[in-house]
């Protein structure tokens, strides 16, 4: 994160005595990245964070690349999916992957998690396509709603509670490296610059602590190296009375992303929202089209020699695509040109604005769909540019 934040009670100095009302010490925990050289936060527990009561058998939790799919422009027809599993973890269906990132969907039947989850493998972005609720973590409560990117640093212990009414649909992105704001939009001390499409005012950290003091059996499912490890603790991991630092979960709404436009068609990097190891995330939002008198609003054909490109269609009608519904994915592989469907270029001329929303991921290494994704493949899509 780009700025310091604190909640609750903390001592004046790090690593010094900080006592509870009964005279015992609060237990300090440093949560740090890149060893001791990256961003970090200091948390203060009522109980010992290492108080493990039991460890269950690990269960497999991984996906397999469908390498036999080959080099194909791909449309995953996932718009009709409703329930993908019972709970927040079993409902995860990762649909594409490489060594840097996985991306998929999650529509759980259960709206409230009766366990805690810790991803020890990677940072996460949970895009709330539909739904509203609360993220509870050691860092406090964070209200989330439709359109939010919820950025969760690795090893954060959390659970979601979503409201029962209305649809629930999540886009899940898991990164092997840290998920960060865009470097070219930051100054030398990390502050977002004036020309950034969003700023610190748009970033929502946890807004209040949520302290669970009762002892008992608390299950934390920890994802590590393709397994879920079952750890039962003697107290809640949400026993934090205060914390401060730069590392914490936060939300940024796609509705607060301010588009950058120009006289002629702007390239996708102007839509970049996050960066990570091996990929970027971009946000397509309502915006005015190009205003050169001879402008063509539809994107030009593109051969990207270094990247694979994924678009998740969130809202609206994309003028460059036919037959794509809300909640579908397109994957355009490096090595093949991609561009607007026939007829959409001429149709776009004279258009003044768009009301679309989409999440785009560009990977720097080849991306594979998973075996879970095969059932959603639109076999006709690779030939859909033929007039």
Find out whether 69 is annotated in a ligand binding site.
no
Pairing of strands 92-97, 368-369: antiparallel
| Contacts for 263 with CB less than 8 Å, ≥ 6 apart | 290, 291, 292, 295
Cα separation of 191 and 280, whole Å? 19
Q: Among 171, 176, 193, which Cα is nearest to 184's? A: 193
Is the alpha carbon torsion for 176, 177, 180, 185 positive or negative?
negative
For the chain, counts of helices (H) and of strands (E):
1, 28
Is the alpha carbon torsion for 351, 353, 356, 362 positive or negative?
positive
Q: Among 114, 106, 76, 66, which Cα is nearest to 90's? A: 106
Q: Among 279, 286, 283, which Cα is nearest to 309's? A: 279
Instruction: Compute the C-alpha angle 354/359/362, nearest 5°.
Output: 120
Residue 265 designated active-site: yes
Q: How far is CA 266 from its chain centroid? A: 24
Provide DSSP, 196-221.
SSS-GGGEE---B------EEEEEEE
Find out whether 338 is annotated in a ligand binding site.
yes
Identify any residues that bridge with 276 across adjacent strands, giving them in sequence order.
279
Identify any residues that bridge with 204 across adjacent strands, giving them in sequence order.
251
Find out whether 217 is annotated in a ligand binding site.
no
Pairing of strands 215-224, 116-119: parallel
Cα separation of 173 and 103, whole Å? 5
Catalytic residue among 15, 265, 271, 341: 265
Q: Which residue has the tokens 């406090």?
A: 140
| Contacts for 188 with CB less than 8 Å, ≥ 6 apart | none
Provide DSSP, 284-309.
E--EEPP-STT---SPPPB--SS-EE
Binding region? 302, 308, 338
Binding residues for Fe cation: 302, 308, 338
Binding-site annotation: residue ranges for homogentisate? 338
Q: List residues with catalytic annotation.
A: 265
């Amino acid at each position: 994160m780009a700025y310091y934040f604190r909640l609750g009670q903390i001592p004046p100095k790090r690593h010094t005595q900080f006592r509870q009302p009964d005279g015992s010490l609060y237990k300090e925990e440093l949560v740090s990245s890149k060893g001791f050289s990256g961003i970090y936060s200091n948390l203060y527990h009522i109980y010992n964070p290492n108080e493990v009561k039991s460890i269950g058998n690990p269960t497999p939790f991984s996906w397999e690349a469908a390498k036999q799919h080959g080099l194909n422009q791909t449309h995953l027809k996932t718009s009709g999916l409703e329930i993908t599993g019972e709970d927040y973890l079993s409902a995860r269906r990762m649909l594409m992957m490489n060594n840097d990132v996985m991306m998929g969907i999650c529509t759980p039947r259960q709206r409230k998690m009766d366990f805690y989850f810790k991803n020890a493998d990677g940072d996460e972005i949970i895009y709330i396509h539909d739904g509203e609720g609360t993220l509870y973590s050691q860092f406090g409560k964070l209200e989330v709603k439709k359109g939010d990117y919820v950025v969760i640093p690795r090893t954060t212990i959390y659970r979601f509670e979503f409201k029962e009414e209305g649809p629930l649909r999540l886009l899940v992105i898991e990164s092997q490296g840290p998920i960060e704001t865009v470097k070219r939009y930051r100054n030398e001390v990390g502050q977002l610059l004036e020309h950034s499409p969003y700023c610190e005012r748009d970033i929502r950290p946890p807004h209040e602590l949520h302290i669970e003091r009762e002892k008992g059996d608390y299950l934390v499912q920890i994802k590590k190296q393709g397994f879920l490890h079952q750890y039962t603790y003697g107290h809640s991991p949400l026993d934090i009375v205060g914390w401060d630092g730069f590392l914490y979960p936060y939300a940024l709404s796609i509705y607060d992303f301010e588009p950058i436009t120009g006289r002629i068609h702007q390239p996708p990097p102007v839509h970049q929202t996050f960066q990570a190891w091996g990929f970027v995330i971009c946000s397509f939002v309502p915006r005015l089209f190009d205003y050169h008198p001879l402008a063509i609003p539809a994107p030009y054909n593109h051969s990207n020699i270094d990247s694979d490109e994924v678009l998740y269609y969130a809202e609206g009608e994309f003028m460059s695509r036919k037959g794509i519904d809300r909640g579908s994915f397109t994957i355009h592989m490096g090595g093949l040109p991609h561009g607007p469907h026939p007829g959409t270029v001429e149709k776009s001329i004279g258009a003044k604005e768009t009301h679309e929303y989409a999440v785009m991921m560009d990977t720097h290494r080849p991306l594979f769909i998973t075996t879970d994704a095969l059932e959603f493949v639109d076999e006709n899509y690779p030939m859909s540019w033929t007039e």
